[in-house]
Amino acid sequence: MAGRVTSVDVAARAGVSRSAVSRCFTPGASIAPETRRKVTEAAKALGYRPNAIARSLIAGRSRMIAVVVGYMQNQFYPDLLDRLARELQARGYHLLLFAASPEGDSDALFPQILAYQADGIILASATLSSALADECNAAGIPVVLINRTTDGTGVSSVTADNVNGARAVADFLLAGGHRRFAYVAGTAASSTNQDREAAFRGRLAEAGIGEVLREDGGYSQEGAAEAARRLLTRRDRPDAVFCANDHMAIAFMDAARHALGLRIPQDVSVVGYDDVGPARWPSYALTSVEQPVEAMVDIAASALLDRIEGRETAARIARVPGALVVRSSARRPAAGIMTIDGRDVWTP
Amino acid sequence: MAGRVTSVDVAARAGVSRSAVSRCFTPGASIAPETRRKVTEAAKALGYRPNAIARSLIAGRSRMIAVVVGYMQNQFYPDLLDRLARELQARGYHLLLFAASPEGDSDALFPQILAYQADGIILASATLSSALADECNAAGIPVVLINRTTDGTGVSSVTADNVNGARAVADFLLAGGHRRFAYVAGTAASSTNQDREAAFRGRLAEAGIGEVLREDGGYSQEGAAEAARRLLTRRDRPDAVFCANDHMAIAFMDAARHALGLRIPQDVSVVGYDDVGPARWPSYALTSVEQPVEAMVDIAASALLDRIEGRETAARIARVPGALVVRSSARRPAAGIMTIDGRDVWTP
DNA sequence: TTGAAAGCGCTAACAT
DNA sequence: ATGTTAGCGCTTTCAA
């Protein structure tokens, strides 16, 4: 039962005071080399580790970050979580994971996050209500939103540059010679969906395309498959479809091919957003705007820890650019594609 | 700053002692209805929540479970994590997430898990070294392994019934009339891979098939694609391939079709293990043995909490059966397939 | 039923 | 550089 060893035991064995033991484990504390040696030795012999819980109590900081995720089927979120856990670990923090129901029991999470004295909170979901973010913010807990923004002030957010990303998609499809467009939407209330949709439509409108068909896929694969059925059986079938994310785009492609017998991109071009792992799988070879997980996590972690550790007090709004990665799910324009690091990228 | 309210503040406002406040939030403590009312009211007005950290310090239990995951690209793990978080939340526990490198800095995790006084630990990875499990176990922290077993005593584990699952795959492929078999292995050292491989080979041997080709895919998609290239360009190409998991089976199928131009299942049958989401995607329609996440999580959580809460002291070894779900990545035998709940299942 | 007092394991002033 | 003292916020005997 090495777990029950306290600093008193170590102090006794090393023949010093508890303070000395404490100092030995406190970076930058003043302690004589000889004392340190004795303590270290005793600690090792006893299997002693300072109790982080007790430490938190004193410090008033737990070094734990609450991370709330919603939908784990979309590979973007597992990737995010993985990077987040590593990044926080590397910075000496730990990740307390909360799974939120899509509906919004997320309010029940607030007391728990508070109770555990989380030093900060990361909300990683396009669809979660902003109520939780606002509550935490009001309670003085630094908040970072990933993949969505909110109107509330004081809340940091890290998103892709959805506006430029969606514009690039429009340009790309126009350059490919498409004329009849459709958009498969995610949850309408999410800022990410709104930004992507508005920018896509806006750019098309500038090019003189007023009509863009629309179906709601609600960020789900079932929704996207249903959207495909509806859109692609119309007489005036669209020849280019932009799905609000890859997760839907994949289901859309499958429905188009396997349920409807269409060829991609000959019969219809499909573009997604996120550039998740499955987009690279040869069966899909999905053209998609990347959402650079690593950069987003770095920024989110820095924004959060800068506030927690008092280096910064203002909320930070970051928009991270991502390349439009060209594969074969959409007709390739004759020009404007460059190969960078072995990846075909749209650079008009 | 509602977060900084303590029981003293509530006590003062309610005109009672700190003890009374404590009792109000302790289920089953003796407190007068009137006192409870006053305290509840004051707490609500002040936005007070008992500090879980301080509580943990006294109780010697943190109500936190450390969960260590390795590889998040394989959709099985995000699904597992999602269920795990919900299940633990529902039982009043919380999940402290650790991402382990495949190599094994997992030893560096031990001190951290200890420091945070995790009440238990769940290792969810087929490949993690068992050193961490043994250390925790030795330190008196209950351990549950998911998706692998270990020789160490005192460690609980929950796995699929890999032996019967792999046997079913052999039977199924034999019934489909196949004669030349191959196995794409996961990490050779993992118990899961060993069980699946041995049972698959064993069953084939019983049927008089002595030779089974083998390639190591190391549980990675790159490895599986490479395995496909090697196996399927041989002159004596196998006509049936069992991949140690779906994650590899998918890459194997993609390589077979897109790099090698083969048809599935006409040229080669492919079967996987796990029945993850992508196995159901029409592009793959992968025949696979399911690994029932929900049941596995229920059992793992119960096994862990029963030990933590002292209801049981012995380690539990659970093997959860899963159906062989028949889709179209492998030739279908003429008989032995039943439709249950809209799913085709191999029931010879 | 209630309050006073002790203490969970640790760190941070403060002396020395 | 080291030990002593006083808590961090809470629960829990122990009396009353």
What tens digit of pLDDT does each residue of A161-200 get? Answer: 999 999 999 999 999 999 999 999 999 999 999 999 999 9
pLDDT at site B1: 44
Residues B45 and B193 in one domain: no
Decide if pLDDT at A288 tops 90: yes
Q: What is the pTM of this model?
A: 0.95
Q: Are A292 and A262 in contact (CB under 8 A)?
A: no
Name the H helices within chain B: 7-14, 18-24, 33-46, 52-59, 76-90, 106-115, 131-138, 162-175, 191-206, 221-232, 246-254, 293-308
Phi, psi dihedral angles at B293 (to 5 degrees): -55, -45
Q: What is the mean pLDDT of each run of 10 residues along chain B (348 residues)?
A: 80 96 93 95 94 95 96 97 96 95 75 93 88 90 94 91 98 98 96 97 97 98 98 97 98 98 98 98 98 98 96 94 98 97 95
Residues B182 and B274 in one domain: yes
The pLDDT value given to residue B3: 55
Q: Which of A40, A79, A61, A58 is nearest to A119 (CA)?
A: A61
User: Does residue B57 sit within a domain?
Assistant: no
How far apart CA B227 and CA A241 sit, in angstroms, is: 35
For range A23-42, the mean pLDDT: 94
Q: In this structure, is residue B58 part of a structural domain?
A: no
Chain D: nucleotides below 7 Å from protein CB are 1-5, 7-13
**Res A233 pLDDT > 90:** yes
Total number of domains constituting chain B: 3
Q: How far is residue B307 CA from its own chain's centroid?
A: 19
Residues of B whose CB is below 8 A from A75? 73, 75, 78
Contact predicate B28/A120, CB 8 Å: no
Whether A141 is covered by a domain: the verdict is yes
> Average pLDDT, stretch A298-310?
96
Same domain, A101 and A123: yes
Partners of A160 in the β-ladder:
A320
B residues 203-262 lying closer than 8 A (beta carbon) to A: 250-251, 253-255, 257-259
Confidence of residue A105 (pLDDT cuts 50, 70, 90): low
pLDDT at A60: 92
| Domain-located, residue B283 | yes
Average pLDDT over residues A32-36: 94
Note the pLDDT of residue A103: 67
Q: Within a domain: residue B38?
A: yes
Q: Which two tokens stand for residue B23?
A: 């009792």
DSSP string, B165-210: HHHHHHHHHHHTT---EEEEES-TT-HHHHHHHHHHHHHHHHTT--
At A1, the pLDDT band (50, 70, 90 cuts) reads very low
The answer to the question of residue A286 being in a domain is yes
Confidence check: pLDDT of A111 > 60? yes
B20 touches strand C (CB under 7 A): yes
CA Rg value for chain A? 25
Q: Are residue A143 and residue A21 in the same domain, yes or no?
A: no
Domain that holds residue A333: 162-291+324-346
**Alpha-carbon span A81 to A83, nearest angstrom:** 5
Q: Which comes out higher in pLDDT, residue B5 or A102?
A: B5
A238: three-class secondary structure by DSSP = coil
Q: Which H or E run includes A174?
A: helix A162-175
Distance between CA B8 and CA A289 in Å, rounded? 53
Residue B282 backbone dihedrals phi, psi, to 5 degrees: -55, -30
Is the separation of the CB atoms in B299 and B138 below 8 Å? no
Q: What is the mean pLDDT of residues A293-309?
A: 97
Q: Which of A1-10, A22-31, A238-247, B51-60 has the lowest mean pLDDT?
A: A1-10
Q: Which residue is nearest to nucleotide C7 (CA to C1')?
A: B58
Residues B240 and B154 in one domain: no
Element of type H or E holding A232: helix A221-232
Residue A2: is its pLDDT beyond 50? no
Pair of tokens at residue B317: 């070894």
A131 pLDDT more than 90 = no
**pLDDT number for residue A3:** 54
Average pLDDT over residues A273-286: 98
- CA A33 to C1' D3, whole Å: 17
CA-to-CA distance for B204 and B179, rounded, in angstroms?
A: 10
- Same domain for B196 and B330, yes or no, is yes
Q: How far is it, in rounded angstroms, from Cα B111 to Cα B142?
A: 15
Enumerate the H helices of A25-128 as residue ranges.
Answer: 33-46, 52-59, 76-90, 106-115
Looking at residue A83, its pLDDT comes to: 97
Asked if A115 is an interface residue toward chain B (Cβ–Cβ < 8 A), one would say yes
Three-class DSSP category at A169:
helix
Please tell me the predicted confidence (pLDDT) of residue B153: 83
**Which among A229, A238, A150, A148 is positioned nearest to A196, based on CA atoms?**
A148
Q: Can you tell me whether residue A269 is helix, strand or coil? A: strand
Minimum CA–C1' distance nucleotide for B33: C1
Rounded to an integer, what distance in angstroms lies between the CA atom of residue B24 and that of residue B40? 7
Residues A256 and A273 in one domain: yes
Whether residues B166 and B277 share a domain: the answer is yes
Residues of A in contact with B1 (CB under 8 A): 139-140
- Residues B95 and B175 placed together within one structural domain of the fold: no
Is A292 (CB) below 7 Å from strand C?
Answer: no
Tokens (6 digits) for B147: 């998706």
User: Is it the case that residue A286 has pLDDT exceeding 70?
Assistant: yes
Q: What is the pLDDT of residue B105?
A: 67
- For residue B231, give Cα distances in angstroms to B166, B186, B222, B283: 20, 15, 14, 22
Interchain contact A189–B (C-beta under 8 A): no
A19 CA vs D5 C1’ separation (Å): 11
How far is Cα of residue B305 from the mean position of the Cα atoms in its chain?
17
Residues A103 and A180 in one domain: no
- The residue with greater pLDDT, B207 or A154, is B207
Of B1, B2, B98, the CB nearest to A85: B98
b/e code A151-184 from CB counts within 10 Å (16+ = b): ebebbbbbbbbbbbbbbbbbbbbbbbebebbbbb
With respect to residue A59, please indicate whether it lies within any of the assigned structural domains.
no
In a domain, B55, yes or no: no
Mean pLDDT score, A303-327: 96
Whole-number pLDDT of residue A104: 62
CATH assignment at residue A242: 3.40.50.2300
Residues A119, A190 within the same domain: no
> Whose CA is nearest the C1' atom of nucleotide D8?
A58
Q: Are residues B263 and B332 in the same domain?
A: yes
Which whole number is the average pLDDT over A202-216?
97
Rounded to whole angstroms, the Cα distance separating B134 from B131 reads 5
Measuring from the CA of residue A115 to each C1', which nucleotide is nearest?
D9
- Please judge whether A281 and B97 are an interchain contact, meaning their C-beta atoms are less than 8 angstroms apart: no
Strand C close to A19 by CB, under 7 A: yes
